[in-house]
Each structure stands twice: as C-alpha cells, then as structure tokens.
C-alpha cells in the first residue's frame, strides 16, 4: 500500500492528475491495481511493481476522466458527455443478419462487459446479470462495475454503438 501511495504522489508531482484529490486517486488506484493483478498480471513476465508502474496510470486516468470528469473516450479523443450522446448524433445501427453477426460484435466488446453481453445473448435478463455480477464483485468493490440494470444497459448501448461506428467507418474506406 505504501508503494501505491508513493506512485500516486509521483504522478501528481509530475503534474498528472494534479487537479484531483490525492486520497481519491489512491482509492481508485487501489481498486484498479487489484483488478489488474487479478485479471492481467503474469508473474513470469514481470514483478508486481514493474507491472503496475506500466499499466496502472492509464486505468486510473481513464476512471477519473469517465467517472469524475464526465468524459468519454472516442476515436477522436476525450469528449464531454454533454456533447457525446446528443439524440441527433445517435444513428440507429443496421439490423443484424444472423447469430454470426452477433457473435462477431460480442467478440469486439470490451473485456469488462463481454461476460455480461454473452449472458444476455444467451437469454439472461439484465436483472439476473447485474445481481450475479454484484455477488462476484461484492467482496472488494461493493457491487459490480455497473450498479443497476439501467447503467449496464447504457454501457452496453454505448459499446455496441462504438463497434458499429467503427465497422461503418471501415466500410466507408
């Protein structure tokens, strides 16, 4: 824990995330470090401190920008949420042709949402997915990455829109 506090202090002394409270950044860094170590860390490739020094800042920065700053990451950079989801900017996606299209889209979904998307495609309800995930994450995060059905639905809509827009732009090239 002491090393993590020093790391956050080092970021702030270099001017990174300086506008945010140190204690809040330490809390976020602890949660993200635990997630990274549980899901991504391979002890045969590096030490814990080397691994976290390399990957933790980007996770904390993303979390702060999205949750506190009110931004979304787009292919064109960070965009304020107020400017991002304007109804005029939302285009209905083309209908899916078959299960193969759906599986292809699920494969491109961010890893944090992929499990939920797979369960939903297999017929689970939003309520079931949220309550199952809340049980898995309750021991250390006091709930899942998403707190309720509406938040999960919004995250999945945003992710699907991102994937379909990428496919559309690739088709236009």
Instruction: For 63-76, write each residue's pLDDT tens digit.
Output: 888 888 888 877 77
Q: Is the pLDDT of residue 35 over 50?
A: yes
Closest CA to 160 of 95, 69, 93, 83: 93
**pLDDT of the residue at 6:** 92
Sketch the domain layout of the chain as residue ranges. Answer: 2-83, 91-172
User: What pLDDT is stored for residue 97 in this prediction?
Assistant: 62
More confident residue, 6 or 106: 6
pTM: 0.48
CA 121/CA 117 separation, integer angstroms:
6
Lowest-confidence pick of 3-7, 77-81, 137-141: 137-141
The stretches of the chain forming alpha helices (DSSP H) are 2-13, 22-39, 48-63, 81-84, 99-108, 111-121, 126-141, 149-172
pLDDT of residue 140: 42
The pLDDT assigned to 122 comes to 80
Q: Is the pLDDT of residue 60 over 80?
A: yes
Q: Which is higher by pLDDT, 133 or 54?
A: 54
Q: Higher pLDDT residue, 56 or 132?
A: 56
- The confidence score (pLDDT) of residue 47 equals 92
Mean pLDDT of the chain: 78
Q: Is the pLDDT of residue 11 over 60?
A: yes
Q: Is the pLDDT of residue 44 over 90?
A: yes
Task: Determine which of 2-16, 38-52, 84-98 has the lowest per-residue pLDDT on average.
Answer: 84-98
CA distance between the termini of the chain:
48
pLDDT single digits (tens) 97-147: 666 677 777 888 887 788 888 888 788 887 887 777 765 544 444 444 556
Q: What is the DSSP letter of 96?
A: P
């Amino acid at each position: 824990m002491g090393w993590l506090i020093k790391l956050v202090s080092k970021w702030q002394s270099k001017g990174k995330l300086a506008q945010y409270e140190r204690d809040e950044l330490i809390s976020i860094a602890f949660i993200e470090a635990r997630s990274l170590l549980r899901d991504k860390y391979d002890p045969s490739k590096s030490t814990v401190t080397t691994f976290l020094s390399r990957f933790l800042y980007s996770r904390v920065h993303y979390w702060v920008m999205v949750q506190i700053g009110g931004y979304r990451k787009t292919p064109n950079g960070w965009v304020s949420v107020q400017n991002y989801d304007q109804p005029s900017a939302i285009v209905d996606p083309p209908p899916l042709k078959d299960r193969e299209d759906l599986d292809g889209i699920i494969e491109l979904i961010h890893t944090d949402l992929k499990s939920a998307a797979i369960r939903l495609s297999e017929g689970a309800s939003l309520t079931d997915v949220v309550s199952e995930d809340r049980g898995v994450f309750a021991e250390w995060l006091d709930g899942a990455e998403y707190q309720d059905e509406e938040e999960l639905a919004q995250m999945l809509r945003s992710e699907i829109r991102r994937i379909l827009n990428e496919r559309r732009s690739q088709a236009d090239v």
